[in-house]
Chains A and B, each alone.
Chain A
């Protein structure tokens, strides 16, 4: 069994990482604090179940993610129906998509707030999968273990989450005329280059 002080030290070491993860799943300061407190208390009460030498972060993420589901009032689904795997209704215009993805810095500079807003519209499973992969750098297999679902379902959540993010961003970019603005910006830059020589 792990030493109690060591357990507290490990929690202290990762507290900011865990808190940021929770915040990105629940997107509310006070809810994030409640979930964090509840997760730490659950972990503390269950510390005898943690096996020394095993992956502490993954063990904690499992507890935290379950708390996030409760906080978001969502039911964790361990698999998706075959119909739901059809992503055609999330499809985006490939030409527009290319115009967006070819300059990600421009997008975050002009639509950063909308990107964060779009994150809030994803499901808990989609957000958790995306954050655990892209930010916490877990593998598909590890994410599947943390979220307690098959690897294929994790990949589906990732794919759908990304597609929905893009679609929401694209709607914003089109509705606000940002793409036209960007095209003008690019055109202006090209004209300047031509003038210079």
Chain B
């Protein structure tokens, strides 16, 4: 059981559950609630001020560190090929029997080697092709299960909000009130990359119509060309900037209901 000052602190920091908030607000007078709200505003203002004070990572520092890591990866990927030049003198001379090109076994081994090489090349090409494909080609489908199936993570509003927070896209996604005119559901989410740009992709529905929600940096563009809207006769799209992030909502239903659930004031 939390003591009173801890409970107030958790209230100001928005760390209480909905039930705990309701329970506490029942016990507090209007003046006390207003006092705690004022406290929250003060802390938020101070935080925003401190947040604006830090410098970005220097580009040259990052470039140096990145180069080190990439060169290590590339070194590990290289197949070590013994050099015939300068190092040859260090290799002890071993008299090996000469290859007999008329021996059937030599040709069999050579053929197996060539077949193996061909397999490796084919596999690498397949892997590269697979990696180049955009990962978020969305086809709008009336079947909601199929629509939700690519989600890396399935869950409701609270879970999706936490997921977005964990993957570095801290937007506040509110749970819609039961009285809301539109019936909005959250189904799941995943992180996708399109042309080296990272987006959080949230699967939602509004009045039983599938809606696509993307969250990216404020300066990113909506990746229209990677989303297949051909199943729809028309679609709506709208966006909202929240701090350094932008939320896009697109789909066959008007996006205003869903977009109103996003804000950046609190997590």
Contacts and interface: CB of A to CB of B under 8 A. Distances in A.
A17 to B, nearest CB: 7
A134 B57 contact: no
Contacts of A18: 57
Interface in B184-239: 198
Given A12-B62, A23-B54, A155-B6, A134 B165 contact: no
A44 interface: yes
A163 B93 CA distance: 77
Interface of A is mostly: helix
A115 B57 contact: no
Contacts of A171: none
A104 B47 CA distance: 11
A135 B51 contact: yes
A135 B10 contact: no
A37 to B, nearest CB: 6
B32 interface: no
Interface in A1-58: 4-5, 8, 11-21, 23-24, 29, 32-33, 36-37, 40-41, 44, 55, 57-58
B56 A165 contact: no
B166 A57 contact: yes
Interface of B is mostly: helix
A1 to B, nearest CB: 13
Given A5-B73, A15-B62, A158-B9, A137 B165 contact: yes
A40 B66 CA distance: 9
Contacts of B56: 16, 19-20
Contacts of A20: 54-56
Contacts of A105: 45
Interface in B42-71: 42-47, 49-51, 53-58, 61-62, 65-66, 69-70
Contacts of B66: 8, 11-12
Contact of A40 (B13, B44, B65): B65
Given A16-B57, A19-B55, A8 B69 contact: yes
B114 to A, nearest CB: 29
Interface residues on A, range: 35 or more
Nearest to A15: B57
Given A20-B56, A155-B6, A162 B65 contact: no
A119 to B, nearest CB: 6
A108 B65 contact: no
B168 interface: yes
B251 interface: no
Interface of B: 5-6, 9-10, 13, 15, 38-39, 41-47, 49-51, 53-58, 61-62, 65-66, 69-70, 72-73, 76, 165-166, 168, 170, 198, 267
20 contacts: A4-B73, A8-B66, A8-B73, A12-B62, A12-B66, A14-B168, A16-B56, A17-B168, A24-B53, A37-B61, A55-B166, A101-B38, A104-B42, A134-B47, A135-B51, A137-B170, A137-B267, A140-B15, A152-B6, A165-B46
Among all A-B residue pairs, the 10 with the closest Cβ atoms? A20-B54, A134-B47, A19-B57, A104-B45, A137-B267, A101-B42, A15-B57, A16-B56, A108-B49, A104-B42
